Amino acid sequence: MPYYYPLKRLKDGSLRKRTVGGLQRLRKQLKDERFPSKKTSESLILGTWNLRNFDDDRFNYGPRLYESFYYIAEIISHFDVIGIQEICVDLWPLKRVMNILDKDYDYIVTDVTHSSIGGNQERLGFIYNKSKVTFTGIAGEIVLPPKLMISAVDANKRQFSRTPFGVDFQSGWFKFFFSTVHIYFGSNSPSSVKYKRRVEEIEAVAKYIAKEAKNSDSNHILVGDFNIKKSGSDGFNALEKNGFTVVTNNKGSNRDQTKFYDQISFRSKKNELAFVEPGREDRVIQFFNSIFREEDYETYKPIMKERIADKLKVANKKLEKATSKTAKKKFNAQIASLTAARKTNASLRAYYGKWRTFQASDHLPLWVEIKIDFSDKYLENLKIMD
């Protein structure tokens, strides 16, 4: 359970009331949608979430509000272990979430990716409940051998734009090597080189992990933002043809649930993967039903106006000091965008649609619950031993 006590000490009563209301709606939504409750010895709730640009205000829509960290922590607290993408250079925002979470939670993340093609100085990582999940001490980034390196962009052999990350965990009887990715996006045109790079990255990580799984006594789980538009596409097929079981999800994981960018897939040992509710097809948390809702626009309208005004002041000052054409172009673009956003109520409402994704995310968490108690089967096998 997240640590709510600091809310009691908030001097801003309206902020406290708003935050508590959002948390209550989130909790009710998860209960109403039958999100699984934590069964300590029987099952494991794992997932993946791209936490959009967390949290360096690179795109000039942030930074996140005080309440946003509570909402993010509340969602994460319902998982036993979750892969996180788009953690930024500064780890303070992540540590702020960890301070809200129960003391039993911990995290492990990569260093930043400095790739010149789509790396964006991002980190990948995992947040896990230490009372349920044990980190075995093994962790590493995936470095491709020469024959699997990516060559779609040009003749050069390349590694991933963002290096995948894997960690060895155990929960109950279930041993699993948990890997997360943020695959290069590029283009949606199947004939483009950038699209081919995306598919090649998915194929490379799938082949690499499939090979590792053959020589491992752990089950392998691969999650993350694959930038897959839909099932049956080239990237999706790359997972299945390399022996991965892809978790069924009939509702998209982007903001308006039209794309299937986020995936959970398994390359498991024989008889060691069993889903709780295997027929369930809705495995996303549409948090915009509870927080930063369409009907909350009027609540956040003055906050957005104030922030836009502050950002305009900063951008104008930077423009005055800018000497290069590139810098001047950048700040002029920011000023034009911010000015247009606050021009009319309609433009500010449109701005709200995007602004809120930098408070929560433009991706929705994807989850699955699996069984981890194999004691009955183990005892049965002991009985038939010679």
Please provide the DSSP assignment of 323-386 as one string: -SHHHHHHHHHHHHHHHHHTSSHHHHHHHHHHHGGGTS-SB--EEEEEE---HHHHHHHHHT--
pLDDT tens, 253-263?
999 999 999 99
Q: Which residues pair with 366 in a beta bridge?
A: 48, 284
- Asked if residue 302 has pLDDT above 90, the reply is yes
- pLDDT, tens only, 52-65: 999 999 999 989 99
Look up the CATH number of domain 5-291+362-383: 3.60.10.10
Q: What is the pLDDT of residues 197-224, one digit of tens each?
A: 899 999 999 999 999 998 888 999 999 9
Residue 200 CA from chain centroid, whole number? 21
Select the more confidently predicted residue: 285 or 236: 285
Tell which residue, 247, 242, 240, has the closest CA to residue 262: 247
Q: Residue count of the chain, please give it.
A: 386
What is the b/e burial string over 347-371, where b = at least 16 CB atoms within 10 angstroms of the residue's CB? ebeebbeebbbbbbbbbbbbbbbbb
Residue 23 carries which side chain, given as an amino acid letter?
Answer: L
For the chain, the domains span: 5-291+362-383, 295-356
User: Per residue in 349-375, pLDDT tens?
Assistant: 999 999 999 999 999 999 999 999 888
Q: 4-13, 94-103, 185-194, 311-320 — which is least confidently predicted?
A: 185-194
* Band of residue 155 on the pLDDT scale cut at 50, 70, 90: low
Whether the pLDDT of residue 141 is over 90: the answer is yes
Coil, helix or strand for 174? strand
Does 301 have pLDDT greater than 70?
A: yes
pLDDT of residue 261: 93
pLDDT recorded at residue 238: 86
Contact between 177 and 221 (Cβ < 8 Å): yes
Q: What is the mean pLDDT of residues 69-90?
A: 97
pLDDT value of position 152: 62
Contact 104, 131 (CB under 8 A): yes
Averaged pLDDT, 239-266: 91
Do 50 and 361 meet the contact criterion of CB atoms below 8 Å apart?
A: yes
Q: How far apart are CA 248 and CA 259, in angstroms?
A: 14
For position 380, what pLDDT does the model report? 76
pLDDT at 49 over 90: yes
Rounded to whole angstroms, the Cα distance separating 236 from 239 reads 6
pLDDT (0 to 100) of residue 128: 98
- Mean pLDDT in residue range 140-158: 82
What is the rounded (10 degree) CA torsion for 224, 227, 229, 235? -80
Residue 153 pLDDT:
60
Whole-number Å distance between alpha carbons of 173 and 371:
9
Looking at residue 215, its amino acid is N
The residues, any chain, with a CB within 8 Å of residue 49's CB and separated by 6 or more, are: 75, 76, 82, 83, 84, 85, 262, 361, 363, 364, 365, 366
